[in-house]
Amino acid sequence: MSKSGFPENFLWGGATAANQYEGGYLSGGKGLSTLDAITGGSPAKPRMITYKTKDGKIETCARDQALPEGAVGYVDPDQYYPSHVATDFYNHYKEDIALFAEMGFKCFRLSIAWSRICPKGTMEINEEGLAFYDKVFDELLKYGIEPVVTINHFDIPMYLADELDGWSNRKVIDYFLFFCETLFKRYKNKVKYWMTFNEINFLRSWTQIGIHKNDKQAKYQAAHHLFVASAKAVKLGHEINPDFQIGMMVAYIPSYPMSCKPEDVMEAIKFNREQEFYIDVQVKGYYPAHKLKEYERENVVIQKEAGDDEIIREGTVDYIGFSYYMSTVSASNPDQVKYVGGNQMPAVKNPHLQESEWGWAVDPLGLRISLCKLYDRYNVPLFVVENGFGAVDKIEADGTIQDDYRIDYFSKHIAAMKEAVELDGVDLIGYTPWGCIDVVSSGTGEMKKRYGFIHVDMDDEGHGTLNRSRKQSFYWYKQLIAANGEQEK
């Protein structure tokens, strides 16, 4: 243990996702992904799916709505799709990794585009796609940066969505396992840290998992297939390389009761259970009793094959990766409270907290609370794999970006994280703040909502040079990593 409280081998780094950062749309043999048919948007204008109906008519619907039966994703040449170029890691990976190394990164979290490796998501391999990630991992390792790989991050090959109805179809488990086996064998000496699915509790529609129905039966059946696939992947990965550390990833938003009124406390319990359900299955290895009771009440019947429960029990993960951006509040009278924006959902306003420009509650202590809750409940290593502050950055006349607001956000959250390690004894692997370089916003599809330490010249309509430049926070984070999290009082 260093004097800062963080272990000497603590993994400081940053996080991205292929569909928001990589670009390279259809380059090098890549196939279509569901997110390739999702338009840009804004807080006032939802991102849309473009699709074709059974009779060939081109239509659109909001990103989290269900597509009509028989509809297929469609890339309209008259629309702008942020994922197609994103911020172009595909052509800038050497430059970007050099900048990460300059900051002193110990690790870099990225996702692998399934349709770059298996263009249709089936058992056909695109060697050019594998070679691209070989080059990325070699470049990272050249600088001593540990790759942290999310196997699937918020999308599915479009063919599997359109032809098989995505994760509602059990066949997709086998295709995913083929994808995992390909990765595990190819990169077994280059990658140690893996996560199966990004924010598994937010996988709910055609956009993320290819399903055409969004009712509870459809979503929870798909979730069961995801659980089985994840458990099988964990077991397979450990067989290929026993040194692999394979985790899960959840969006963790702790909810506080609006008051000490027992009804408010019960509502907070219900809210937190919805996130913890996904962790329970993947860490404890079984469905919690409250979820089974919910299934009974809601007439949800999960179709299982013989051995599924044993697979889930045997395929528990090595660690919990989670995103933390905000907290929320639960109230027994939801029609009488104020709401603000939130991460993938509306959130009840906490009168004790300020919000970002996008309505996200800024709650550094909530990160310590989350770490304590998760470690007390599960007693496995934790990894904060997303945390960050979206804001509009101003470029000064001299070209600098003075993002003190971002530095203030990170400084307070890292201080809270340090307390969780130093005072509460939480076993924490590392910290990879979201969008260490500017990426397309997942929620709104914007570029002006920026998270990065590195600015990328690109606007909301896809115009710009893609030139990279360092923000003030770049130099701050570099110093923080060099001091292993120690900050001046």
Q: How far apart are CA 180 and CA 117, in angstroms?
A: 10
Strands (E), 346-415: 347-348, 382-386
Please indicate whether residue 386 is annotated as part of the active site: yes
- Residue 401's identity, in one-letter code, is I
Among candidate residues 121, 252, 131, 114, the one with its CA nearest the CA of residue 174: 121
Instruction: Kindly state the tokens that stand for 120.
Output: 């249709």
Is residue 116 within 8 A of residue 126, CB to CB? The reply is yes
Q: In 88-215, which residue ranges form alpha helices assigned H by DSSP? A: 89-103, 114-117, 127-142, 158-164, 171-186, 206-209
Under 8 Å between Cβ of 440 and 447 = yes
Residue 102 makes CB contacts below 8 A (sequence gap 6+) with 478
Contacts by residues 393-400 (CB-CB < 8 Å, ≥ 24 positions apart) = 393/450, 393/455, 393/471, 395/455, 399/469, 400/471, 400/472
SS3 437: strand
The helix or strand, by DSSP H or E, that contains position 51, with its residue range, turns out to be: strand 48-52
Judge whether 437 and 392 are in contact, CB under 8 Å.
no
Catalytic residue among 386, 396, 461, 486: 386
Amino acid at 404: D
Residues 312 and 281 sit within 8 Å (Cβ to Cβ): yes
Q: Which of 167, 206, 168 is nearest to 64 (CA)?
A: 206
Positive or negative, the CA dihedral 346, 195, 28, 173 is: negative
The token duo for 102 is: 């300059």
Catalytic residues: 386
